[in-house]
Structure formats: structure tokens, C-alpha cells
């Protein structure tokens, strides 16, 4: 995957690697500026029914320094789960993910 920051600007930056490598590189610092996240297709798929979506959204917020609304939208796009269901789960409401 690649995290591209501040595209076409003076402080343009690309961080490439696995999700784990990128999170290690970023550390606890918030990523500033406009960010594009590019993810290659994985060899094996994620079982999203087993993922804690509320925790996933919180991680996206903290590691990428993005607002909750943006993190929810991104989690919905990555998981293929409807945005309203991801939102409900961030509120602690168990939702049918079908």
C-alpha cells in the first residue's frame, strides 16, 4: 500500500510498504495535510465479519489524523460494508452487516 500526502505540493510525500510497515513508520504522529491511500489487492481476503469496525475506525482516525466521518467512509469503502452500518457500529449498536 501507499500513503501519498500533499500531492503536487512542496511537501509531497509517499510512504510505501505493508500496512504494518506504514503504521510503524508513522508511529503515533498524526499525518498532516491531504492524504490519498492506495491499496493493492491482497492475496487473501479479510473476513470483515470478524473485524471490530469501531476499533478500525478509531485506528484510521488516530493513525491517519482524519475526521471520524472520513474514517467511517474509508472503512466502508475498504470493507464493502454500508457506511450507515459502519457508523452504527461506531456508536456501539450491533448491526446486520449483510
DSSP codes of every residue in 26-38: HTTSPPPS-EEEE
Lowest-pLDDT range of 2-11, 23-32, 76-85: 23-32
Question: What pTM was computed for the model?
Answer: 0.58
Rounded Cα distance between 98 and 92, Å, is 17
What pLDDT is attached to residue 70? 93
Q: Is the pLDDT of residue 73 over 90?
A: yes
User: With contact defined as beta carbons under 8 Å apart, do 57 and 77 qualify?
Assistant: no
Rg over CA atoms, the chain: 14
Amino acid at each position: 500500500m501507499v500513503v501519498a500526502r500533499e500531492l503536487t505540493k512542496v511537501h509531497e510525500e509517499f510512504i510505501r510498504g505493508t500496512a504494518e510497515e506504514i503504521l510503524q513508520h508513522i508511529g503515533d504522529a498524526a499525518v498532516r495535510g491531504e492524504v490519498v491511500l492506495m491499496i493493492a489487492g491482497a492475496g487473501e481476503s479479510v473476513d470483515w465479519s470478524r473485524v471490530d469496525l469501531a476499533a478500525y475506525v478509531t485506528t484510521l482516525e488516530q493513525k491517519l489524523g482524519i475526521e471520524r466521518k472520513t474514517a467511517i467512509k474509508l472503512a466502508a469503502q475498504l470493507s464493502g460494508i454500508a457506511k450507515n452500518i459502519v457508523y452504527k457500529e461506531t456508536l456501539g449498536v450491533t448491526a446486520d452487516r449483510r
